Amino acid sequence: ASFLRLHMVTWNVGTAEPPADVRSLLHLDSQQATDLYVIGLQEVNANPVRYISDLISEDSWSHLLMDTLAPMGYIKVTSVRMQGLLLILFAKQVHLPFIRDIQSTYTRTGLFGYWGNKGGVSVRFSFYGHMLCFLNCHLAAHMNYALQRMDEFEYILDMQDFDMYNTPQVLDHKVVFWFGDLNFRIADHGMHFLRSSINNGRFNLLWNRDQLTMMKKKEAILQEFEEGLLCFKPTYKFDRFSETYDTSGKKRKPAWTDRILWRIKPKAIDTEDENRSTTSSADDDEYPIKVTQGTYTCDVSYGVSDHKPVIGTFNLEMRKKVETPLVTLTVEGRWSADEDATFTYTILENFESSTWDWIGLYKIGFKSASDYSTFAWVKDDEIAANVHFLFQVQMSKSELPLLAGDYVLGYYSTNMQTLIAFSPTFQVSFHKHIQYRPKVWKHYYF
């Protein structure tokens, strides 16, 4: 089995601009390297002008995350945004060929007439053949709306549908992560008891009055979800740039509004019904997936928002169902910017290729699929061609980058919405006249 490390963040950023540095949020100085980052934000600034500009270029939070993670070898795989809700997925390059069939969707909820500022955004994909789904929600606020939060969650689950025959809905996936500003509060306790329990680190005194924990006892759907122990300070509501709970006139009670839960699909119960397929349960036995939580904590050092970010790290233990990429890419000869370059590719497996597929040249440290130096379209006649047929492509020297360095070729599948194959890393060297100039000078002096 393989162990893959997932790092998740949920943070209600309260329409603030991002802090200067998010390294500690992402545990970038940790000994254990992360394989996947899934970051869910709520209340990303979504005023109309800002929202329109984001459709053209990315928001400042996405930019900061990409600028921080790209130099560490993480590529933005996909993101989905609905007004203030943002969900963004990063992966190490080595995993990208095995992250397939990416789909995202969003659902607006507006039980109180504020239509569209709350709801859920989700991303689903197949990871080494295992179906995963991540659902970032922002549910209704206020102490006495716990039942409405449940209604909203169930509405989001009902409304979200994917164009996938085997996993049309969220709960069809083998593993679901549900997280976000779920807005559940701590009921019944007075402010003094809350604050003294928190100050003394006796969080366990508050657990049985946490609304989500209480709801779990009576809501069947919640019983399928697991959550780590709440051994960190309630993450709401803080005075900005401080570790002090709300001192404003509103005096909001502290609460664990920001949560990360997960669910492993329950095994199918065999019935007498002959028509019912038992393949899914047989398959689950052969290729199980185990989720264990490493850390579940909040980082109180961040103060831009009145919420503190919550971090969950997980180990996914799985047997990979797929281990071969769909395409191989091979670079021919040495590449330099003063001669045309050649590469070949082979389609190893039948997949739904498209005339909109492209092969891009990416400088190592690239941020996302669109961050290429140059690209070539896949040719029309090659689409219908056979599997295991070798295609040769020329790139004109005029299109090659002037920046020397380490590069990879990547095949982008429009139907899968992701890069599905990479060549080995290779070097592109400078123009000859740039390359040889220093030698001429040396010759001249010595």
Contact 440, 100 (CB under 8 A): no
Report the pLDDT value the prediction gives residue 441, as an integer from 0 to 100. Answer: 38
Per DSSP bridges, beta strands 36-42 and 2-12 are parallel
CATH for 2-318? 3.60.10.10
The angle subtended at Cα 256 by Cα 253 and Cα 258, nearest 5°, is 125
Contact 114, 139 (CB under 8 A): no
Report the pLDDT value the prediction gives residue 403, as an integer from 0 to 100. Answer: 83
Task: For residues 328 and 348, give the distance between their C-alpha atoms in angstroms, rounded to a whole number.
Answer: 7
Q: Which two tokens stand for residue 292?
A: 């264990």
Domain ranges in the chain with CATH number 3.60.10.10: 2-318
Indicate the SS3 state at residue 444.
helix
User: Residue 411 — φ and ψ, nearest 5°?
Assistant: -95, 120
Task: For residues 59 and 264, give the distance between their C-alpha atoms in angstroms, rounded to a whole number.
Answer: 33
Max Cα separation, the chain?
90
Please state, as a whole number, how many other Cβ atoms lie within 10 Å of the Cβ of residue 398.
Answer: 8
Please report the sign of the dihedral spanned by the C-alpha atoms of residue 250, residue 255, residue 260, residue 261. negative
Buried b / exposed e along 300-338 (16+ C-beta atoms within 10 A): eebebbbbbbbbbbbbbebeeeeeebbbbbebeeebbbe
Report the pLDDT value the prediction gives residue 281, as an integer from 0 to 100. Answer: 52
Report the pLDDT value the prediction gives residue 279, as an integer from 0 to 100. Answer: 46
Domain ranges in the chain with CATH number 2.60.40.2840: 327-432
Q: Which two tokens stand for residue 365?
A: 């440290």
Q: Which two tokens stand for residue 302?
A: 């961040």
pLDDT by 10s per residue, the chain, length 446: 899 999 999 999 999 999 999 999 999 998 889 999 999 999 998 666 655 555 555 789 999 999 999 999 999 999 999 989 999 999 999 999 999 999 999 999 975 545 557 999 999 999 999 999 999 999 999 999 999 999 999 999 999 999 999 999 999 999 999 999 999 999 999 999 999 999 999 999 999 999 999 999 999 999 999 999 999 999 999 999 999 999 998 889 999 999 999 999 998 765 545 454 444 555 667 889 999 999 999 999 999 999 999 999 999 999 999 999 999 999 998 898 788 999 999 988 888 888 899 999 999 999 999 999 999 998 766 555 567 788 899 888 888 887 889 999 999 999 999 999 999 999 998 765 544 444 333 333 33
Report the pLDDT value the prediction gives residue 55, as an integer from 0 to 100. Answer: 56
Q: Which two tokens stand for residue 225?
A: 């979800």
Question: What is the fold of 327-432?
Answer: Immunoglobulin-like (2.60.40)
Task: For residues 18 and 304, give the distance between their C-alpha atoms in angstroms, rounded to a whole number.
Answer: 7
Write the DSSP assignment of 131-190 as a string of letters: EEEEEEEE---SGGGHHHHHHHHHHHHHH---S-SS--SGGGSSEEEEEEE----B-S--
Report the pLDDT value the prediction gives residue 359, as an integer from 0 to 100. Answer: 96
